[in-house]
Amino acid sequence: MTSSATRVETVGSATGHSIADGSMRADSAWAGYANIVDGPGGYGGVEPTEEWAAEIKRLARQRGATLLAHNYQLPAIQDVADYVGDSLALSRMAAEVPEDEIVFCGVHFMAETAKILSPSKTVLIPDQRAGCSLADSITADQLREWKADFPHAIVVSYVNTTAEIKALTDICCTSSNAVEVVESIDPNRDILFLPDQFLGAHVKRVTKRDNLHIWAGECHVHAGINGDELAEKSRSHPDAELYVHPECGCATSALYLAGEGFVAPDKVKILSTGGMLDAARQTGAKQVLVATEIGMLHQLRRAAPDVDFQAVNDRASCGYMKMITPAALLRCLVEGKDEVHVDLETAHVASKSVQRMIEIGTPGGGE
C-alpha cells in the first residue's frame, strides 16, 4: 500500500461486474436516483444521507468497484470511499487493488493518471467535466512549440497535467520531489518546468539554476492564499503552527511565500499529506493554521479532533473538486459513467515519465 492513501473501509473483493444484462448499468431501485438533476455546478438533487451512503456501498459491491477519493473531496464523498489520499498515492493504489473497476473521485487529470498506471482497468470519474485550471494552463501544442525553442532541454512536469502533456514530458515531479528531480539533471542542460509558476519559482530559488525556464501557469485557487493574508493570519494567531501542503497546486504559492519570509520559518511545517496527518496526531499545539485546499481539513479533524484546525483562507476551495457530488457518484455507479479513456500509446509513453520520477526519489503523493 502506498503511504499517503488512507484505507477507510473495505467493500468486498469481487472482481468483474455482477450486472445481469452485461451492460455497464447497475440496478438501483433507490428513489434518490430519480431526483438527479444536471445543473450548472454539476449533478445535484441528492443529499448525502445514510441511505445514500448505504446505496453507494451496495452499488460499488455490485459492480466490483473500488472507490478512491482525493483529500479535497466533499466530506461525504471521503467518508464513503474505500481509500482517501493524494493523486499519485491513489493512482498507485488503483494499480494495486484486485478490483478491475476504479471509481476515481477527483479531477480529470487524476483519473487519467490512474488509467495511465492501470491501462487494463476500467476507470470511471463521476463527472468528467471536473477539470483543473492548472492542468489546463498548457496545451500539448503549446508545449510542442516551447520544446521547439529549446530542442535540447529536458521537460519536467508537475503531476497536475493531462496524459497528453505527460507523454511529451521527460520526467514528472511532485512538489515533494521537484527539487530532487531537477538536481538529478545535468547542470548544463536547459530545463522546461511546467505548468506551475509558483512551484517553478520555489525550485529555481532552491537549486539556483539559471537555465530553468518556467511556464506561467497557475491554479485559480492560488489567488485565495496570498502573502499578506498568510502573514496576517500568522500574526493574529501567534501560538498556532502553520502547515503548508506542498503536494497541492493551491499551496505552492504558500510554499513560495514561506520561503520569501512572509511567515516566521520556525512555525512553518511543509508537509505531505501523510506527514500532515502524522504531525496533526502528534502536535502539542492547540491551534493549527492550514494553507491548502479546505477539503484537507476534514481528514485533519478526523485525525486529531482536539486540535483547532483553521484554513488560512476558507475560500480556498476547488470548484472542480466539488463537482463530484453525491448525485454524481450515484449516477456514476448506476450508469457506469463517465469512463476515462487514454489511448494505449499515450498511456505507455506517459507512464515512462511517471516511472522516471519514481526511480529518482520519493515522489510523495502529488496534489
Could you tell me the three cell numbers for 178? 521537484
User: Which of 134, 156, 182, 255 is the binder for ligand SF4 (CB under 6 A)?
Assistant: 134
Q: Is 143 in the site for ligand SF4 (CB under 6 A)?
A: no
Q: Which stretch binds ligand SF4 (CB under 6 A): 13-21, 138-146, 318-326, 347-355?
A: 318-326
C-beta of 198: minimal distance to ligand SF4 in Å? 11
Q: Using the 8-state DSSP alphabet, how is residue 242 labeled?
A: E
The reply to whether 160 sits near ligand SF4 by the rule CB under 6 A is yes
CB-nearer residue toward ligand SF4: 249 or 363: 249
Binding characters for ligand SF4, 276-295, by CB under 6 A (x = yes): -----------------x--
**In the window 62-121, what residues touch ligand SF4 (CB under 6 A)?**
107
Work out the end-to-end distance of the chain between its first and last CA atoms, rounded to an integer number of angstroms: 18
Least distance to ligand SF4, CB of residue 109, Å: 8
**Contact string (CB under 6 A) for ligand SF4, positions 176-215, x = contact:** ----------------------------------------
| Interface stretch with ligand SF4, choices 24-32, 33-41, 140-148, 317-325 (CB under 6 A) | 317-325
| Spatial separation of the C-alpha atoms in residues 97 and 81, rounded to whole Å | 14
Give the Å distances, CA to CA, from 113 to 25, 144, 325: 24, 21, 21
Residue 349, all three cell numbers: 509513453
Question: Hey, what's the cell of 64?
Answer: 466490483
Give me the least distance between CB of 319 and ligand SF4, in Å please: 8
Are the C-beta atoms of residues 14 and 58 closer than 8 Å to each other? no
**Main-chain phi, psi angles of 80, to 5 degrees:** -95, -10
Nearer to ligand SF4, 6 or 175 (CB): 175
Out of 132, 154, 300, 324, point to the residue binding ligand SF4 (CB under 6 A).
132
Cβ(260)–Cβ(308) under 8 Å?
no
The closest alpha carbon to 41, from 366, 342, 260, 324, belongs to: 324
CB 112 within 8 A of CB 342: yes
Q: Closer to ligand SF4 at the Cβ: 274 or 366?
A: 366
Q: Which of 42, 49, 196, 16 is nearest to 107 (CA)?
A: 42
Q: Least distance from C-beta 156 to ligand SF4, angstroms?
A: 17
Q: Shortest gap between Cβ of 11 and ligand SF4 (angstroms)?
A: 26
Cα-Cα-Cα-Cα torsion 52, 54, 57, 62, nearest 10 degrees, comes to: -100
Q: How many residues bind ligand SF4 (CB under 6 A)?
A: 15
CA 236, 240, 246, 248 dihedral sign is negative
CB of 8 to ligand SF4, least distance (A): 21
Which among 237, 145, 232 has a CA at the least distance from the CA of 192?
A: 145
Give least dist CB 73 to ligand SF4, A.
Answer: 11
Instruction: Mark residues 214-253: x for contact with ligand SF4 by CB under 6 A, - for none.
Output: -----xxx---------------------------xx---
255: nearest Cα among 271, 247, 244: 244
Residues that bind ligand SF4 (CB under 6 A): 107, 132-134, 160, 219-221, 249-250, 293, 318, 320-321, 367
